[in-house]
A and B are shown apart, each in its own frame.
Chain A
Amino acid sequence: MRIAIPVWDDKVSPVFDTALKLLVVNIDNNREESRFFYPIDEEEITQKCHRIKKLELDTLICGAVSQAFLQILLSSGLDVIQEISGPAEDVLKAYLDGTIFQPRFLMPGCRRWKHRCCGKGNMGAGLRGKGIESRH
């Protein structure tokens, strides 16, 4: 499976609408297989989404994202875990360990109900079977 995290100075980008770069990680059996960076510097969210679609992602982990952008992302069939903050490497590790929904990774003011995994219903390899679903 393939996941992506928008990054800025080694951190998760605070606003996905204006994020410029994605860290794309290929995962097999809950372990990182390979990674690469992918620019997403398009201004228009539709063009950004068009570009993201080409990556055939399963899951996107991001910071704040506008409802309009979220709508269009979900329509392209990927799962979105939003309002996540912190160092990108720590977030990635927590995702693989199935412990991403810890207060230290949640943006301030974030209500836990918002941390549903939207889209295809695929929680991602790292979250499956780790009791995450029951917390949302």
Chain B
Amino acid sequence: MENIQENQTRIILDSIADGVFTVDSDWRITSFNRAAENITGIGKKDALGRHCWEVFRASICESHCALRHTVQTGGPVVNRSIFIVNSNGDRVPISISTALLKDNRGKVIGGVETFRDLSLVEALKKELDKSHSFYDIISKNKEMQRLFGIMEQLADSDSTVLIEGESGTGKELFAKAIHSMSSRRKRPVVTINCGAIPDNLLESELFGYKAGAFTDAKKDKAGRIALAEGGTLFLDEIGDISPALQVRLLRVIQDKTYEPLGSTKTEKADVRFVAATNKELERLVKEKRFREDLYYRINVVRLKLPPLRDRKGDIPLLVSHFIKRFNELKGKHILGLKPEVISLLMSHPFPGNIRELENILDYATVVCKDEYIGIEHLPDFLAGTARSLTPPVTIVNTDIKDMERNYIYSALKKNSWNRKTTANSLGMHPTTLWRKIKQMGIIMPDHDGRSKNLG
């Protein structure tokens, strides 16, 4: 009878969408439902008997454990928002509730914690606010890691930053991440696209105006500089502004003062400037199309973002990230890509960079009704390319490991199995490549200099 009851409880627990686990008086996990496995990425078998902090890995485990509070005081905790670090290293936002666990005689034998995955809510919030942080930048590329190091140093400084990179490389994401890492993060970050607004309008947008400054200026309007007071002003496409506006911008960056249009009063600007361009400003300076003094004023710290074609090793990570995001936003359950799609994406030059990859996957996740995205789900321009390619070999599964294996295999083949050249082209150390070849069981051909079979 007891077994039947236990079985029923297990079925009920496994059928609910919220994660549930219980602990005994020694904080060891005694039950762990299916949703808990999904949210934490840790299997029930691995979790049972382990201390809850080793499995749950929550932001509050160390200093503000909710379950400990409940066990010590008897008072429940309801809907508290925290984050956990799942088995993939993702920060997963969740809300938790706790209660005491008692036996038939009312004796406290442990605690129960339920938790709800808030990833979707956070993703929607992010879409609405367009708020991004360092956590949204995904890369394992060496050059990108060097940039992360610079960004970390920027956290304590107020220096003007120039971000260079082709369209779609994530300049705005970096600008927002710099803001979110700075001491100004609680103040606004305001973006203005200098290339998208006609010059006259751009001036009034930036500096604001007073009533009567020009026809139809019926009342005062604050400019973006004023709106970004205390925060960060992101000047996108700065290479597109006119020489006249460059002079005014130079003054505000240099002296931190400006006058709104039609005003005689000088305003102070407590703003950090982050500028971005997809043009070579140095060349524009040489061609006298961009002021040298402004260039040096904004080029205090320069971040040059590599195009996606130079960091193709990041494609599997980015694919996984975008599929997860679009699954959340569109209520889909797509698991990954079919092998031929992986090969196609790896060989695509991505002139539109990460934005292009994002758009491709956005489209594919709308069209795809299956578990895996196939060639038929891709936009026409890519599907056309696929038809002209020969089918790939040696791929059986579609997870990230297999994508990586296939990518390394293709790169080795392309570089005539020369490990050093391949490692350079992949942006990794030859020792790392060697280790990966061994781990992934890639068999080197006989004509390789070392003539070794690995695997």
Contacts and interface: CB of A to CB of B under 8 A. Distances in A.
A18 interface: yes
B62 A18 contact: yes
A45 interface: yes
Interface stretch (B53-61, B116-124, B260-268, B282-290): B53-61
B80 to A, nearest CB: 15
A109 B43 contact: yes
Nearest to B181: A46
B405 interface: no
A116 to B, nearest CB: 8
B155 A17 contact: no
A107 B51 CA distance: 10
A94 interface: no
B331 interface: no
A44 interface: yes
A55 interface: no
B61 A68 contact: no
B134 interface: yes
B90 interface: yes
A15 B145 contact: no
A70 interface: yes
Contacts, number: 109
A108 B85 contact: no
Q: Which range contains the number of B residues in contact with the other chain?
A: 35 or more
Most buried by B among A19, A71, A74, A136: A71
Given A14-B61, A67-B89, A108-B47, A44 B155 contact: yes
Given A18-B59, A65-B89, A109 B42 contact: yes
Given A108-B55, A121-B431, A75 B146 contact: yes
Interface string A67-95: 11011101111000000010000000000
Nearest to A16: B85
Given A44-B181, A108-B47, A71 B91 contact: no
B149 A72 contact: yes
A67 B90 contact: yes
A14 B62 contact: yes
B47 A66 contact: no
A43 to B, nearest CB: 10
Contacts of B134: 45-46, 68, 72
A17 B149 contact: no
B95 interface: no
Nearest to B432: A121
B148 A75 contact: yes
A13 interface: yes
Contact of B63 (A17, A20, A77): A20
B139 interface: yes
Contacts of B148: 71-72, 75
A109 B46 contact: yes
Interface in A1-37: 8, 13-15, 17-20
B297 interface: no
Contact of B85 (A44, A65, A121): A65
A71 B87 contact: no
Given A71-B139, A121-B429, A66 B155 contact: no
Contact of B439 (A68, A107, A113): A113
Most buried by B among A13, A75, A113: A75
Contacts of B56: 14
B54 A8 contact: no
Contacts of B61: 14-15, 18
A79 B334 CA distance: 35
Contact of A109 (B41, B62, B135, B149): B41
Contact of A15 (B47, B59, B135): B59
Contact of A76 (B40, B51, B152): B152
Nearest to B51: A85
Contacts of A75: 145-149, 152
A121 B429 CA distance: 9
Most buried by A among B54, B134, B140, B147: B54
A70 B134 CA distance: 12
B324 interface: no
Interface string B129-147: 0000011011110000111
22 contacts: A14-B58, A15-B85, A45-B134, A46-B134, A47-B155, A47-B156, A49-B152, A63-B54, A66-B85, A66-B135, A67-B88, A68-B134, A71-B148, A75-B148, A75-B149, A77-B149, A108-B42, A108-B55, A109-B42, A109-B46, A109-B87, A113-B439
